[in-house]
Chain A
Amino acid sequence: MENPYKAYPVRIDSIDVATQDKSLRTFKFVFLNEGDEEKFAYESGQFAELSIPGKGEIPIGIASSPTEKGFVKFTVFRTGLVTNHLHNMKVGDIMGVRGPLGNSYPLKDLEGKNIVIIGAGFAFTTLRSTIVYLLDPKNRSRFGNIDVIYGARNPGMILYKDELTVWEKRDDINMHITVDSTDDPSWTYHTGFVPTITETQAPKADENTYAIMCGPPMMLKFTKPVLDKLGYSHDKIIMSLENRMKCGIGICGRCNIGKELICKDGPVFTLEQLKHMPEEDT
């Protein structure tokens, strides 16, 4: 059996500044060794440890979709030791990727269902992976209606803008893009917080409709009651959690909430499951 702590060596293939304030960059990696890409077979919603020898490892959601081949992509917010170092790296630099880790969004179970995807801020990465997967010609017909509600602080903070523009124009996905506020007169999309936009734009709940939600704690806190009001039952609200991590494989004991380990039993849970798990902040 292989050492689950050992990262696959990768080369940085491209780096794109993802937001106007440069606090987020999207990194595309290619695997150095033949066969590693196949071993890294992943599903939307999973994450990986980006491993920079000399600096450390960080858990980051996989932003590329399993339908995209030849590379794996992550969008990283600059905040502390490792993320700052990563932001200063160059195309061609060598580092490691370890994973895929954690469970995934239960897309197999959602076949034939309508899906509303709700995201905010830079927690849109694994949702991007999900959307790309769902829109793939081989997959789209297996799912019902798809709605996406995505909010950022201002137009400059919107991730994956080029792709959003393309998805906007398609008739097999309903995009509801919003910003908290803007003074840009040419802004043609929504203005307002994600919970408010969810209230007016999200489809009404029914037996066949599921919500997938990922975002900062405040957004989640205020969107949950809106989904309640729209009639979404808690087993149909799917969320992704975050906690500080090290091993990512359920061994180092760091990331638990109650008896669940976020890195291995999660990061994806239904709201129904979360009701039986402590909220660690209290």
Chain B
Amino acid sequence: MKVINIDKEKWASGVESLTSTYRLFGPVKEDDSHNFKELKKGELPDLAYGNSKLSPKSAVFPPSEAMFTYSLDEKNENHHILNDVKKDYSPRAVLGIRPCDAKAVSLVRMNFDTKEYRDPYWMDAFEATTFVGLACDNPCSTCFCTSTGCGPFSEEGLDVLLVENGNAYIAKALTAKGEKLMDAAGFKTAGDDSAIAAKKAAAEAKITASIETDKLSEKVIMDLYDAPIWDDISFSCINCCTCTYACPTCWCFDIQDENKGLSGVRMRNWDSCMTPLFTMHGSGHNPRSQKKQRVRQRFMHKLKYFLDKYQKGIMCVGCGRCVQQCPVNIDIRTVSKKMNDYVAAS
């Protein structure tokens, strides 16, 4: 680990130097909110943001992405055969990702990089990416990252952590990838990280919301599944899917062929377990035809199935997006408390 001092006046020229070797992604203000976008030439990430509306997961997992192309023209020698799509996996960097969102990337990696299969699209993008995090000094009222095994200064999943310190950023280059990026930006001045501990404690103290999960691992899946809590929890859900699209740890996708004339592209698109079509069989039978079943699936996946499967905590980093954006105020912290407190009648 290397500590580097970045004078804020040098930030813009450093970012400019990066553009010769990296594609840059960062928070950009659009209307009344921020989202992560690929930065245009000369554009700087807006580091004065609180939390982006959608998570930055799209930097490695775009909402829509081509998998293969094909020709349907029988005169074409290779018709009906899948061709790889040429993709740009040259080095890219996400500037200003929040620590919670970076931890989310490392949780999601467990899904895309398994013993048996490696998802080439997600993994190639991930491996090409350097994650430059920005510690949170002013968490939102809906943030509860300190009770999800994360925190406003968490380093998990990051290559560099930037901490704002007056006229400078204290940069901790945490990995070789991070050091390389600092070099490429020309950020070389040795720094001092002694100010970080106090800032970290101050930020953590501002987070008063929390999620109760301590008893979830000892519960039995079937007990929670059959618990009489789901009708109440799901009652007001309108299945708008906002929670799943905004969430940094949701990864479900659909695969669809899109044709134009005699050629086409096999695409993969974000999908959501909150829609009935997600599980509809060809026969018309649907194991999750009711919203109660779908809402239960979402929370059971995040708070129990994932926990039991990987033993790496819950599939939620406490970014608060779903809490903030759910139009009917369904709150994962309330749901988790109900699950955590539930005792099955014996």
Contacts and interface: CB of A to CB of B under 8 A. Distances in A.
A1 B119 CA distance: 10
For the complex, would chain A's binding face be called helix, strand, loop or mixed by DSSP majority?
A: loop
A51 B256 CA distance: 11
A83 B300 CA distance: 33
Given A94-B81, A278-B221, A249 B117 contact: yes
B58 interface: no
B253 A276 contact: no
Nearest to B68: A6
Greatest chain A CB density within 10 A among B81, B116, B221, B271 is at: B81
B257 A56 contact: yes
Interface string A2-15: 01111101000000
B255 A246 contact: yes
A252 B257 contact: no
Interface residues of A, number: 45
B252 A252 contact: yes
B290 to A, nearest CB: 10
Interface stretch (A139-147, A198-206, A256-264): A256-264
Interface string B180-213: 0000000000000000000000000000000000
B118 A53 contact: no
Contact of B116 (A250, A253, A259): A250
Nearest to A264: B116
A246 B283 CA distance: 16
Contact of A54 (B254, B264, B271): B264
Interface stretch (B98-106, B273-281, B319-327): B273-281
For the complex, would chain B's binding face be called helix, strand, loop or mixed by DSSP majority?
A: mixed
Interface stretch (B16-24, B42-50, B129-137, B301-309): B301-309
Contacts of B309: 259
A79 interface: yes
A3 B116 contact: no
B84 interface: yes
A253 B68 contact: no
Contacts of A184: none
Nearest to A7: B82
A55 interface: yes
Interface size class of B (residues with CB under 8 A): 35 or more
Given A250-B117, A259-B309, A95 B80 contact: yes
Interface string A51-86: 111111110000000000000000000011001000
B253 A280 contact: no
B165 interface: no
A281 interface: yes
A38 interface: no
Contacts of A79: 282-283
A279 to B, nearest CB: 8
B251 A253 contact: yes
B108 to A, nearest CB: 11
Interface in A100-135: none
Interface of B: 67-68, 70, 72, 79-82, 84, 111-112, 114, 116-120, 221-222, 225-226, 251-257, 259, 264, 266, 268, 271, 273, 278-283, 285, 287-288, 293, 297, 300-301, 304-306, 308-309
17 contacts: A5-B255, A9-B81, A58-B282, A96-B82, A243-B279, A243-B281, A246-B254, A247-B255, A249-B116, A249-B117, A253-B251, A254-B279, A258-B221, A259-B308, A280-B293, A281-B287, A282-B226
Given A53-B82, A253-B273, 14 more contacts: A6-B68, A53-B257, A53-B266, A57-B255, A80-B282, A94-B80, A96-B80, A243-B279, A253-B252, A254-B278, A256-B297, A259-B304, A278-B225, A280-B293
